[in-house]
Amino acid sequence: MGGHIHVAGVAGVGMSALAQALRWTHGRVTGSDRYFDQGMDLPVFGALRAAGVEIVKQDGAAVEARTEAVVYSTAIEEGNPDFLAARRAGVPLRHRAEMLAGLAKGRRVLAVAGTAGKTTTTGMLGWTLEQLGADPTVVNGGALVDWADARHVGNVRRGGEGAPWVVEVDESDRSLLNFFPEWSILTNISQDHFTLEEVQDLFRAYAAQVGKGIVCGAGVGAVLGKQKVKIIEAAATPERTADGCAVEWRGLKLSVRQPGAHNALNALMAAELCAQLGHAPKKIAEALSRFGGIQRRLERVDAGGGVRVVDDYGHNPAKLAAAWAAVAAPGNRVLGAWRPHGFGPLRAMMDPLAEAFASACRPQDRLWLLPVYDAGGTADRTVGSGDLAAKLAARGVAVETVESYETLGAELAREARAGDTILVMGARDPQLPVFARAMAAKTAGRREEKT
């Protein structure tokens, strides 16, 4: 058992998962977060405390000479007080992925990578293996609805000794190269944080580190080229069902409750990897049909009233377009709200974002853009939501910018009517899911208002 580890930015989805996993191997884990310093009582803090993680101020006081490491993510700025305290005390700084790779070293790692869909697919794979009795350890970048409660964040599961480790690995900071998995799922490859060519090169380098095989989405094999392991492309044509989506797979209908063609394809890849590991297809399909979903991945947060309210983590063009398509149906309106998660990503993806929204938004739909989420530091703030709005307006999209959640909430409450879907999208900002639930409460009675 190790000593003391400190986790900076512990409220983040990846960092909270790692903090819980570190409690399995270390006697003391502390975690700091600026939202805690701001007095925000996020549910994640209570769940982390229940897991044995101490929540402290982000002022460097928790870092001592005997601290083994300070763990950080790429989102943490260089001037962070915990960083400065670590350097003064001579305490090593360790990236989140490096620490997770260290925990998983020597295990049978099943890694899930890809530009989009990896969190949901990781959850599907971990859930299915649990239901099949494989007792996996799971470390995910999002919470499973079925695993989350007041005392559990829901993004980790501690499995048995010798059981496989199911982990989500990230390309946004190239940290997936810390992992050498036995098997991997590679959902898709598209532009996000880098140019398309850079992303393709990165995934080719990652694929070369996989030990046995890769299950991937259609077209990914051609991008990866020749590899030393077998490449299994899982391709099918999804169909809508009464309560989700389905695909044909190994002579079975593989159905999931989550809407959207992309979720059926995510399930297809999770199912195929389970089959490659020797599990019976019929039992795999039965388990996946019970999967309850991932928080903030097309998560329906209303109570079934006339106005649907859906909360989604969408932040790049592919994810935003997929989320919009999943909730759009004949005869309904989508009232979408998006908060860009950073100035750099908005600048880099401006034209693809404009194309995604312009293609997804139908004449009856409306879109509101919140200000760019500002995490502080030295970001170049010369681009903003108004720049994207101008591009979209020129293409005929009904788009507005709003300066606050208060203004957005008032406009959505005034606009929404029975039959509409409010789609709240964005990453990083913990206020987004809070706002989505507030909108669900505000519009709960609209069924009666329908004329």
Q: Residue 446 — very low, low, confident or very high, per pLDDT cuts 50/70/90?
A: low
> Domains plus CATH for the chain?
2-95 (3.40.50.720), 106-289 (3.40.1190.10), 299-449 (3.90.190.20)
Closest C-alpha to 384, from 424, 440, 357, 344: 344
* Token reading at 413: 């409450």
Closest C-alpha to 126, from 137, 141, 116, 118: 137
pLDDT of residue 331: 87
* Token reading at 202: 């990165």
Closest C-alpha to 178, from 99, 91, 115, 120: 99
- Output the CA–CA distances (angstroms, integers) from residue 5 to 43, 100, 349, 387, in the order listed: 22, 13, 36, 42
Mean pLDDT, residues 425-429:
92
Q: How many residues are there in the chain?
A: 451
**Phi/psi-derived region of residue 343, left when phi > 0, alpha when psi is between -120 and 50, beta in every other case:** alpha
Report the predicted TM-score, pTM, of the whole model to 2 decimal places.
0.84
The residues, any chain, with a CB within 8 Å of residue 388's CB and separated by 6 or more, are 340, 346, 350, 353, 354, 357, 369
The residues, any chain, with a CB within 8 Å of residue 185's CB and separated by 6 or more, are 110, 111, 112, 113, 114, 118, 121, 125, 214, 215, 216, 269, 270, 273
Residue carrying structure tokens 């669900």? 440
Residue 216 three-state SS: strand
**Looking at 89-169, which runs of residues are DSSP E strands?**
93-95, 109-113, 137-139, 156-157, 165-168
pLDDT of residue 13: 85
Q: Residue 193 — very low, low, confident or very high, per pLDDT cuts 50/70/90?
A: low
Task: For 233-244, write each residue's pLDDT tens digit.
Answer: 999 999 988 778
- Res 186 pLDDT > 70: yes
CB-based contact 60:70 (threshold 8 Å): no
pLDDT of residue 197: 87
Min mean pLDDT across 32-36, 172-176, 385-389 is at 172-176
CA distance 278 to 216: 18
Mean pLDDT, residues 118-129:
96
Residue 146 three-state SS: coil
Min mean pLDDT across 139-148, 297-306, 329-338, 384-393 is at 297-306
Which strand (E) or helix (H) includes residue 248? strand 244-249
Q: What is the dihedral of CA 439, 307, 313, 125, to 10 degrees?
A: 130
pLDDT of residue 449: 43
CB-based contact 165:110 (threshold 8 Å): yes
CB atoms within 10 A of CB 438: 18
CB-based contact 158:137 (threshold 8 Å): yes
- Res 377 pLDDT > 80: no
CA distance 70 to 415: 47
- Could you give the angle at the alpha carbon of 328 between the alpha carbons of 324 and 334, nearest 5°? 75
Residue carrying structure tokens 């979720």? 263
- Output the CA–CA distances (angstroms, integers) from residue 351 to 2, 51, 212, 354, in the order listed: 48, 43, 38, 5
- Res 190 pLDDT > 70: yes
- Res 450 pLDDT > 60: no
Amino acid at 22: L
- Res 451 pLDDT > 60: no
Q: Residue 346 — very low, low, confident or very high, per pLDDT cuts 50/70/90?
A: very high
- Res 192 pLDDT > 70: no
- Output the CA–CA distances (angstroms, integers) from residue 4 to 253, 336, 412, 424, in the order listed: 49, 44, 47, 38
Mean pLDDT of the chain: 93
- Res 258 pLDDT > 70: yes
The residues, any chain, with a CB within 8 Å of residue 82's CB and separated by 6 or more, are 6, 8, 32, 58, 60, 62, 63, 70, 72, 76
Mean pLDDT, residues 70-84:
87
